[in-house]
A and B are shown apart, each in its own frame.
Chain A
Amino acid sequence: MSTDKIVLQAEDLKVSFPVRRAGHSTTVQAVRGVDIRLRAGETLGLVGESGSGKSTLARALMRLIPSEGTVKFDGLDVSHLKSGAFRKERKRIQMVFQDPYSSLNPSLTVGASIAEPLKVHTKLSSAERAQRISEVLTLVGLNADYADRYPDEFSGGQRQRIAIARAIVLNPEVLVCDEAVSALDVSTQNQVINLLEELRDKIGLSYLFISHDLAVVRHISDYVAVMYLGEIVEEGPVDRIFEAAAHPYTQVLLNAVPVPDPVAQRATTKLLLRGDIPDPTNPPSGCAFHQRCPFAMAICAQTAPPKVEIPGGGAAKCHLHTSGPVLAGRPINSLTEAEITAETATGKDGSAGESLAAASMPAPSRVTVPGRPESSL
């Protein structure tokens, strides 16, 4: 399915906004040097909490907002194209937004909404447009007759299908889905996700799938990037990220998702984050996550961690993988409590006791249930 062709790529992408804080103007770096690559036929999941810069990154990729760095569509650098030249390229990438109630013009029929991109980007006659509109409506699982109706006659799920039909009408290579299923009930959400997967196979779309819902991201993505405070702190193949997360932030995020199984959910040792996402106008020194990290070491406050490759694919920006203590040859945050207990009890590794003592991190930071974890503030 996926090939080596890279349909969307960003190199060292930066976005900053001017803001006013307490009377004086300053800038906030919303995206701080991001590299991404989306292969043809692949889904890149982009996760992170509100304020992490996911949506800003998507907007910058589509040149909806100004940015620094390079953006390539299908190998072509579009970052410096003049707006006229860029308009020809823009149709390669289309976007689907979160709210299907506000993304469709209520005074236009469904057909007229879908026709707009065709009018802007093609020279099709009105008969040809009508033909294409009924094609895409069928493709998204709707009745071709719906073209004559108005958005208010449709449910949230159907509206999202209409939004997808409009997004694919120009045959784009990439669809950027910004929280595209977040406002929907689970059954409707699943139908839309199944539709996206079907379209991927049928017309060879690639997705940049932005979501805060990690279970959905696990389902749909091939590759996942985790953003924190404007940076990608970890990336990798989906199974590696979900089964062996290497960055403490990814680990906390995954741990925070409640599992719909009371036995498993209550047996989980909860890792609670301290505090809130820092003020982006004044990001912390060193690693942006160090103040909230359960494994923080002295170096984390001083130096920004380099990007290191992680076994199993992808990379993480975390000092634990270069300067941190190791146990049985692995960074301590990659071990389970059982493994730590086993290693330290048997003393298989001569340096184990020593390096664990030097770290002295996982034990106090991992709070044990029953009862409840200490709320860590």
Chain B
Amino acid sequence: MTDAKDALLSVENLRLEIDFNGAWTPVVDNVSFSVRPGETLGLVGESGSGKSVSAMSLMGFLGRQRGQRVSGTAMFQGRDLLRLTDRQLESMRGNDIAMVFQEPMTSLDPAFKVGHQIAAGIRVHQDVTAAQAKELAIEAMDKVRIPNARVRAESYPHEFSGGMRQRVLIAMAIANNPSMLIADEPTTALDVSVQAQILALLTEMKEDLGLAMIFITHNMGVVADVCDRLAVMYAGQIVEEGDVFETFAAPQHPYTNRLLAAMPSITSRRGSLEWIPGSPPRPTDFVTGCRFAPRCRHRLESCELPTTLLEISPGRSNRCLRGNTWMQENES
């Protein structure tokens, strides 16, 4: 929870509840974070931790249907995203805030040329002729380094490789000059060498266009590469938030600590790999106390008390009830 005043997006107490057989169950619970212009926030966690769901609720893809409800505030350029009408939200999505998803295969329509698809997105938001939109589309393809953009604009999605398709999606995302980009596992389906190209491109876009980015990923290596700050999610809550360098150097929450310790290393070989006993709880099994406690080796009886994300130093927060006292305990 950093200073909200210079933030481009400031989310407070975001809560998404889903009706599971008549019981309202919080899937995302009191999530607060902010993103400044030009900053990349990594939203990290295992599958089911609530990272994508949080982003989907901000964008209005979740929480607006029957059986779902969303609360909290998400101030973006002076407006609360959660209180916009569907129509207002539509004019904002793809314009001020753009999204890039994991699957470059399914995010494009196979029946239309890519230049046409990018241009269509431009014409929704900008008052331009079809010919001007086409030129803007080619310009955007150029920006994401698609070679021969003018020619490639006439190709169909299946004529592109996975990495090139992801470039097309990034071109589509930046074509309307958004101020924020939400990237949901944009490199997870790609090979490492292509991932390296796309990460370099996204960092460059961020720097050249001053984009703020929310980068959703489960890969700590990717976080270390592209993010300025990170928020670690577990069971629908943020358990720790802070600067990337500080957090990797000294994680404050036992979950972050275990997650980092579990990453197999490419530079050295250890005995056996670390793992966390048990598995993350389902939303219907969330407990009132610390949700990680059942799997935590530093658990005390007091961990059954309700938790809050506390600011421990400027820009760093921790949800562990034990603060950092658990660090003195023997790691065994």
Contact = CB atoms under 8 A, between A and B. Distances in A.
A103 interface: no
A293 to B, nearest CB: 12
Interface string B150-184: 00000000000111100000000000000000000
A193 B273 CA distance: 8
Nearest to A239: B269
B172 to A, nearest CB: 18
Interface residues of B, number: 50
B9 to A, nearest CB: 23
A101 interface: no
Given A190-B262, A197-B272, A260-B220, A272 B192 contact: no
A334 interface: no
A349 to B, nearest CB: 29
B311 interface: no
Interface stretch (B11-19, B23-31, B196-204): B196-204
B193 A252 contact: yes
Interface stretch (A7-15, A55-63, A212-220, A309-317): A212-220
Which secondary structure dominates chain B's binding surface?
A: helix
Contacts of A153: none
A257 B245 contact: no
Interface stretch (B114-122, B132-140, B221-229, B317-325): B221-229
Contacts of A256: 192-193, 195-196
Contacts of A252: 193
B224 A265 contact: yes
A260 B275 contact: no
Contacts of B194: 49, 276
A238 B223 CA distance: 27
B219 A262 contact: no
B193 A372 contact: no
A72 interface: no
B67 interface: no
Interface stretch (A37-45, A180-188, A296-304, A321-329): A180-188
Interface in B265-304: 265-267, 269-270, 272-276, 279
B66 to A, nearest CB: 27
A212 B191 contact: yes
B225 A258 contact: yes
Given A186-B259, A372-B207, A214 B200 contact: no
A239 B193 CA distance: 21
A242 interface: yes
**Residue among B196, B225, B260 with the highest chain A CB neighbour number at 10 A:** B196
A192 B195 CA distance: 25
A132 B245 CA distance: 51
B275 A188 contact: yes
Given A253-B192, A373-B200, A194 B275 contact: yes
Nearest to B199: A258
Interface string A340-353: 00000000000000
B224 A261 contact: yes
A263 interface: yes
Interface in B229-288: 244-245, 248, 258-260, 262-267, 269-270, 272-276, 279
Interface in A197-236: 197, 212-216, 218-219
Contacts, number: 134
B279 A49 contact: no
Interface string A144-188: 000000000001010000000000000000000000000001111
Interface string A362-377: 0000000000110101
A278 to B, nearest CB: 10
Contacts of A377: 145-147
A257 B221 contact: yes
Contact of B224 (A50, A197, A262, A372): A262
A367 to B, nearest CB: 9
B245 A218 contact: no
A240 interface: no
Nearest to A155: B279
A50 B275 contact: no
A50 B266 contact: no
B320 to A, nearest CB: 18
Interface in B81-139: none
Contacts of B221: 257-260, 265
B77 interface: no
A212 B192 contact: yes
Nearest to A197: B272
A92 interface: no
A32 interface: no
Contacts of B275: 187-188, 190-191, 194
Nearest to B222: A258
B265 A218 contact: yes
23 contacts: A157-B279, A185-B218, A186-B218, A187-B262, A190-B264, A193-B273, A212-B192, A215-B263, A215-B265, A216-B264, A218-B264, A238-B269, A242-B267, A253-B192, A256-B193, A257-B266, A258-B219, A261-B224, A262-B248, A265-B224, A272-B193, A277-B161, A372-B203
Interface of B: 46-47, 145-147, 161-164, 191-197, 199-201, 203-204, 207, 218-225, 244-245, 248, 258-260, 262-267, 269-270, 272-276, 279
